[in-house]
A and B are shown apart, each in its own frame.
Chain A
Amino acid sequence: MSPRALLSDPALPVALALAAALLLVAAERRRRTPAATLGLLLVLVPCALALGSVAAAGWAVPPLVAALVAAALARERPDPLPGECALKLVWVLGGAFALTATGLALLAIATGVTAPVEQWSVLQLGLSQRMVWGVALPLVMLAGVVLLGGAPFHFWVADLFQGAPAALAPLAVATLQALGAAWLVQRLAGLEAFTDGATLARALLRTAAAAAFLAGAGTLLAQRGPERRVGTLASLQGGLALAALAISAGRGPLDGMVAAWLVPWAAHLALALSGAALLARLTPVEQPPGAPGGHLFRRHPAAALAGLYALASLAGVPGTPGAALWLDVARGLAANGHSGLLIAFAIAWLAAFTTALRQLRGGFGVPAATRPAHAVPATIRAALWVSGAGLALLGVARLALR
């Protein structure tokens, strides 16, 4: 596989993310009934398939995946947290899909056609009231923005990382976020034909991205739970996708942007979240400065470093494959003169970077005289290694292309 194919084809990274999830399913198989394990697999595989073909996902895929994830969470019986998470997903994503359906209906009524590309051409003729399309267009975009998990819709992402099983959360979040971005791409296709609409859509995307960056950065630095920190980092990734769309939307066909940025971003997100979320589960919550390091860090420092590499890549630490995705967006924002959004972007990046290094220092903590007697199960460590190795491969591919 050539480096270019590795970066443009999400198959291998998504397969590795699925492999990491399956390793965790295997690690937890004694805790679950065979039916529950099968149920989890029936969600993970469609998620991976949807993620692997994100650019071609139809309009029905996001609600279906969201419903599958909510159903899988609702089945996690002994623990009330996944059930609460499922409920939240249903009302947040269900509400967003309902409002988006309203927007779609409004646009169809205003234009008399249902295909987005035709709708924009009709609206450019000026036959419809501005008030109608001015409300309909943001409503149509709402599902995508909520699925991307940027603030103020960021709570469901952190909840999912805290409440969902370790095997399910990373792939589910990455899939829903990637489908959100794909939804926006599909709904905004051909928008360049409608100048006022393109201006409004770009302004909305910029506002949503700025809110995602600023609120995400503020939340990240105050966040105590390691799982919620990873959730907030994932919501910053949603902000990143919104900013990338704000640069390209309404300026021409989005196919180039999808192939060059969105697909690699989705593949990287799945892989990075797999490692970072698992590391978060193995990291103690809020340690005092003089405390010894976490169990994983003291017993298996190399495996912990593999997990930290995934977290660093998610945060865009220079030298990781994730940093290249952040850099592409920064360059696009600079080239378009969006200094305001670039400031929010820089704040978010610095907050993410700081969080990754804090996790490193907090994880290793103060040296202890003895190391823990019990080893972390090999399957869990293998999942960390799979994620870290996959990201390293992506990094090497980027270096080779340079």
Chain B
Amino acid sequence: MRAPLRLLPGPRVVGGVLCAAGIVLVLLPARFAPALGLELLAAGFWWWARCSDEPALQVPRWSWLRRPATALWLAAAIELALPGPAGGLPVPPATLAFWSRVEAIAVVWAALELLAALPLARPFSDLPGPLLAHGAWLPALLPAAGFLLLWRQAPRWLDVDEVREGTAALLLLTAGLAALRAYGRRRWTAGLRWLVVFDGALAGVLVSSRAVSPWIAVVLWAAASGTHAYLLAAELGGATPRRGPVLAMVWRTTSWVSTAALAWPLLAAAGGLAPRRAALALVLGGIPVALASWVNVARLVEAPERRAFARPVTGLTLSRMAPAALLAGVPLALASAWWVGFAPNGVYALLALLPATLGGALGLLALRRAEAGPGARAGQAAQRLARRAFRLVVGLERAVVAGAMHLLRALATPLRDLHTGDAQEYLLFLVGVAVLAILLPLLR
């Protein structure tokens, strides 16, 4: 007996097509396109999960992806139901203002969940994706989709100040946690997945800070996130960028420069704040940047050659050309920012370079120190501390969420018990009649 749906290609292709279509739809300006895009992305992960070797584990693990899509459906529905003064329906201004806020929150909720900035599904980047051969790479799609959503939907949330400020704070926290996790993880692929989260979160802070135009943030993000995504993809195919000292150094530099370029306008813009707030912003933003720079430089170690004689590689390979392509946009974006009026205070512009420089320099030092000693032991202790700190934060968040869920369940249980038998339903009927026919009219 042949299986049904036999005309469909394999799960790898179906999931891939669904995810690709989802990302494209996220970028389209149509009203329901982003919601449908995230729904397709969630469907892609579901398809891979149901066809994996462990569907009972993978399907529930990735089921949270429907939550961001739901938030976006709500945002789209609000826009459709409240078309504003131009829509022809005379909606009261107070109602319009309230629902505009709800719409902004819904959009931001969807993006923040994908960027691991909400406590509900924060550690998703710790785990590989549901597809066997390419699983390690797949979670990198989600922060990318989150940032693209944040950027494309910027007009719907940037003008709502409370939402914008809240988003910036959550993303800054996420950038810190992502850098901490990337530093704490032993596996390079897991570290790279967290660096992709770091890039998305930092670029999101850059958009919400309004320091530069959103498209400049996108170009800088594309360089940083593209570098890490390429490295991650390459790890699954022979770790080509780490083969040979020259190529490893080129990629180390690319990774460091792109991260520094993404962080620099954000930290430099702190000069526009009051001195105390500026110092706080530099410290809070600088620590994760330094940590991420360290990981970029120190963790990209040259892969050992397994052959007796290294295979000679000549000509322009993808791994040799990609750094140039990835970095090409960085000077263009920074020059454009300056051209359109981004002129930070000189001192702050220099101070903003400090975290990345310091992190990179320490990373180089760590890279050269191969022998075991007090420095290496201190590094291991720091990594353990980073792992514990991350687990503590995630554990606390989970405890708060679980507490809220328990409370909700405790409140819902009496309502559910009203449905457990006919006697209770008599009671429900009487309660309904009493409230509707006697209590409400008397209370008015």
- A residues bordering B, Cβ < 8 Å? 84, 88, 91-92, 95, 99, 103, 134-135, 137-139, 141-142, 145-146, 151-153, 155, 199-200, 203-204, 207-208, 215, 218-219, 222, 288-290, 298-299, 301, 318, 327, 330-331, 334-335, 337, 339, 342, 346, 349-350, 353-354, 357, 361, 364-371, 373
Q: Given A99-B433, A138-B440, A334–B1 Cβ distance below 8 Å?
A: no
Cβ-defined contact, B70 with A152, below 8 A: no
Among A199, A353, A361, A370, point to the contact of B1 (Cβ < 8 A). A370
**CB of B411, distance to nearest CB on chain A (Å):** 10
Interface of B is mostly: helix
- B residues bordering A, Cβ < 8 Å? 1-5, 32, 39, 46, 50-51, 54-57, 59-60, 63, 66, 70, 73-74, 76-78, 80-82, 89-92, 94-95, 98-99, 412, 415-416, 418-419, 422, 425-426, 428-429, 431-433, 435-438, 440-442, 444
Cβ-defined contact, A289 with B56, below 8 A: yes
Cβ-defined contact, B2 with A334, below 8 A: no
Contacts of A92 in B (CB 8 A): 429
Closest 10 CB pairs of A and B: A290-B56, A152-B432, A330-B81, A134-B441, A138-B437, A337-B92, A289-B59, A366-B55, A290-B55, A370-B1
Cβ-defined contact, B436 with A222, below 8 A: no
Q: Given A290-B55, A371-B3, A142–B436 Cβ distance below 8 Å?
A: yes
- Complex formed: what's the CA distance from A200 to B80 in Å? 30
- Complex formed: what's the CA distance from A103 to B437 in Å? 10
With both beta carbons as reference points, the residue of chain B lying nearest to A329 in the complex is identified as: B81
Contacts of B5 in A (CB 8 A): 301, 367
Q: Which of B1, B60, B437 has the most CB of A within 10 A?
A: B437
Cβ-defined contact, A334 with B89, below 8 A: yes
- Complex formed: what's the CA distance from A106 to B428 in Å? 25
- Complex formed: what's the CA distance from A103 to B66 in Å? 47
Cβ-defined contact, B56 with A327, below 8 A: no
Contacts of A373 in B (CB 8 A): 1
**CB of A356, distance to nearest CB on chain B (Å):** 11
- Complex formed: what's the CA distance from A368 to B4 in Å? 9
Cβ-defined contact, B91 with A203, below 8 A: no
Among B1, B32, B56, B416, point to the contact of A371 (Cβ < 8 A). B1
Cβ-defined contact, B425 with A155, below 8 A: yes
Q: Given A142-B436, A334-B91, A361-B46, A350–B429 Cβ distance below 8 Å?
A: no
Contacts of B95 in A (CB 8 A): 334, 337, 339, 342
Contacts of B66 in A (CB 8 A): 354, 357
- Complex formed: what's the CA distance from A364 to B56 in Å? 14
Contacts of B50 in A (CB 8 A): 364-367
A-B contacts, 13 of them at CB < 8 A, read: A99-B433, A135-B441, A145-B436, A155-B428, A301-B4, A318-B73, A327-B77, A327-B81, A331-B82, A334-B82, A334-B99, A368-B3, A371-B1
